[in-house]
A = this chain, B = another copy of it.
Amino acid sequence: MAHTAELIAVGTELLLGNIANTDAQMLSKELSALGVNVFHHSVVGDNPQRLREVVDIARKRADLIITTGGLGPTCDDLTKNVLAQCFGKKLVFNREAALRMEAYFKKLHPESGKMTENNYQQAYLPEGCVPFQNDWGTAPGCGFEADGVRVIMLPGPPSECGPMFRERAVPFLQDWADGVIVSRTLRIFGMGESAVEAQLREQMNAMKNPTLAPYAKEGEVELRLTAKAGDEDEARALIAPAEAALRKRFGSLIYGTDVPSLEWVCLELLKEKGLTVSVAESCTGGLLAQRFTDLPGSSAAFKGGVVSYWGQVKHDVLNVPNDLLFQYGAVSEPVARAMAEGVRTLTGADLALAITGVAGPDPDDRGNPVGLVYAAIAGQGETYVRVIHAAGSRQRIRYTSASHALDLLRRRLTGLDME
C-alpha cells in the first residue's frame, strides 16, 4: 500500500527568505524513489504554537511526517519538544547520544575540555524512538511511530539532512518497502537537458516499469531508470534492456552508471592505469584541482597544479612564451596548449590538463566573449585542445569548463574520440 508523506521544515530563516527549502527537494526525490507519495510540503517558523498546529494538520493527511530543522541548542530543540508533545511522548536522556556528542565536541575543540551545558539538551530524545546518530554534525535525529503515524526528525543543514536520511531514516522505513525498488543512473556529459529530453520524450511517457526520468545537474544530465519488482534480480532484469537502449542511443556521451561524478571516473581510470595528472588553470582558478582533491585518495594520481591567473604567472611558472601571450592573448588555443605542456613538464605528470577562457561577467580585454574557453590535454604524443562555448553564470561557466577538461581526460584514458 502506498504511503503518504508530509515534509515540515522548521526555521524562521526560511520564512525570511534567507535560504531556500532544498531539504524538501532532496527528500522529495528520495521518497519518490522509495515509492512514498509526497503530497504536501510545509514551512513554519521557530514558533511552538504554529508548529503544533502544522503538525496537527499533517497527521490527518499523511502517515509519514518528516521534519527538517529546529533541532539543536539555538532553537531550544523546538522541533523535538513540540513533536514529542503532539504525540504524547516524554523526552528521556539518551546516554549514547550524549557520549557521541561529547566525542564530536572534543574532536572539534580538543583544547577546551567540556561541552557547554546547552549541548546536553540535545541528548534528550522522545521515549521509545530510534535515535539517528549524527556523523555529519552535532544534533542527533530520530524516528518513532505513534497513533499510526511515523515521525522522522532530521537536522536542517543539507550536509547533515541528506546523509542522515539515506543512512539512518531509510533503514527505519525498511519494513514499508513493498517489494524492492532498484535505480540505475546513467550520467551524460556533452549534451544539454532539453536535447536529451527531446530525444526521449515519447519513450519516457510510455515507460512504466522501469520508469525513466532525466535530471539536469550542473551542466550534466542524469538519466534515472527505476524498476519495482519482487526482488532485486527481477528489478535488475527489468532495467537491463532499457539501459542497453539508452547506451546505444547516447554512446560515449554516457560517462558512467551509478558513479558519483566525472572527476571520480577520471581518478579511477588513472589509478587503474597507474598514471598521474596535473593541471594548469586560468579562468577556473583552482576549481578543477579542487574537484580532484575533493575525492579521498586523489593523491594516488593527482600530483598538483598551477593556478596561473595572471599572465606573468603563466610565463614565469608555466613557461608559456611571452610572444604567444602577446600575439594570441591568454584566451587562445596556443596558450592553452602551452599551459598544458608547461605544467606537465613542471610536475613530471604523465598527463596534464589546462583551461583558459573568459568566465565573465565581462568580455576580456581582447574582446573575447564571455563563455569562450579552451581546454587542453597534454601527454606523450600530441596535445589536444577543445574549444568550448559555455553559457550561464560565471559559476556555471567555470564548472562546465572544468567538466570539459575532465571529459578530455576520460576520453583519452578510454581511447575514445576527443569530440
A residues lining the B interface (CB < 8 Å): 9, 12-22, 24-30, 32, 38-45, 47, 50, 53-54, 57, 61, 72-74, 104, 107-111, 116, 118-119, 136-138, 157, 159, 192-195, 197-198, 201, 213-216, 224, 226, 278-279, 281, 283-290, 292-294, 296, 298-299, 302-310, 312-313, 316-317, 346-348, 360-362, 371, 389, 391-396, 398
Chain B residues, Cβ within 8 Å of A136: 392-393
* CB pairs A–B below 8 angstroms (27 shown): A13-B213, A15-B39, A15-B40, A17-B28, A18-B224, A19-B25, A21-B25, A107-B371, A108-B192, A110-B389, A111-B389, A119-B194, A159-B396, A281-B289, A284-B290, A285-B293, A285-B298, A286-B293, A287-B290, A289-B307, A293-B309, A294-B394, A299-B310, A302-B309, A304-B306, A305-B307, A305-B309
CB distance from A121 to the nearest CB of B (A): 10
State how many angstroms separate the Cβ of A350 from the closest Cβ of chain B. Answer: 13
Q: Do A215 and B13 touch (CB < 8 A)?
A: yes
Asked whether, in the complex, the Cβ of A45 is within 8 Å of the Cβ of B39, the reply is: yes
A19 contacts which chain B residues (CB < 8 A)? 25
What 5 pairs between A and B have smallest CB-CB spacing?
A285-B293, A286-B289, A17-B28, A17-B29, A286-B286
A42 vs B6: C-alpha distance when bound (angstroms): 11
Among candidates B41, B226, B288, B391, residue contacting A104 with C-beta atoms closer than 8 Å? B391
Question: A74 contacts which chain B residues (CB < 8 A)?
Answer: 193-194, 197, 214, 216
Complex Cα–Cα for A279 and B317 (A): 13
A25 to chain B: which residues have CB within 8 Å? 14, 17-21
Question: Are B43 and A73 closer than 8 Å at their CB atoms?
Answer: no
Whether the pair B17, A27 counts as a contact (CB closer than 8 A) is: yes
Residues on B with C-beta less than 8 A from A109 are 192, 389
Known: A136-B393, A298-B309. A16 touches B32 (CB 8 A): yes
* Closest residue on chain B to residue A394 by CB atoms: B296
Question: What chain B residues lie within 8 Å of A313 (beta carbons)?
Answer: 278, 303-304, 347
Instruction: Report B-chain residues with C-beta under 8 Å of the C-beta of A347.
Output: 310, 312-313, 316-317
A138 to B21, CA, bound (A): 27
When the two chains form their complex, are residues B201 and A118 in contact, meaning their CB atoms are under 8 A apart?
A: yes
Contacts of A110 in B (CB 8 A): 389
Contact of B108 with A391 in the complex, beta carbons under 8 Å = yes
Assembly CA distance A190 to B401 (angstroms): 34
A112 to B61, CA, bound (A): 47
Given that A20-B20, A24-B21 are contacting pairs, would A290 and B294 also be in contact in the complex, using a CB cutoff of 8 Å?
A: no
**Bound: A396/B347 CA distance, A:** 28
Q: Which residues of B contact A22 (CB under 8 A)?
A: 20
- Give CA–CA (A26, B109) in the complex, Å: 37
B-chain residues with CB within 8 Å of residue A157 when the two chains form the complex:
216
Q: SS class of chain A's interface: helix, strand, loop or mixed?
A: mixed
* B293 x A361 contact (CB < 8 A): no
Query: Is the CB–CB distance between B293 and A391 below 8 Å?
Result: no
Residue contact B12 to A213, C-beta cutoff 8 Å: yes
B-side contacts of A394, CB under 8 Å: 294, 296
Distance from A158 Cβ to chain B, minimum over Cβ atoms (Å): 11
Cα distance A393–B135 in the bound complex, in angstroms: 9
Distance A127 CA – B292 CA, assembled complex (angstroms):
48
The verdict on A312 contacting B43 (CB below 8 Å), with A74-B197, A306-B306 known, is: no
Chain B residues in 8 Å Cβ range of A12: 213
**Chain B residues, CB < 8 A from A197:** 73-74, 118
Tell me which of B224, B391, B395 contacts A107 (CB under 8 A): B391
CB nearest neighbor in B for A138:
B194
Known: A310-B303, A392-B136. A118 touches B194 (CB 8 A): yes
Note all chain B residues with C-beta closer than 8 A to A293. Answer: 283-287, 307, 309, 398
Q: Measured between alpha carbons, how far is A102 from B34 in the docked complex, in Å?
A: 44
Residue pair A54, B40 in contact (C-beta under 8 Å): yes
CB distance from A343 to the nearest CB of B (A): 9
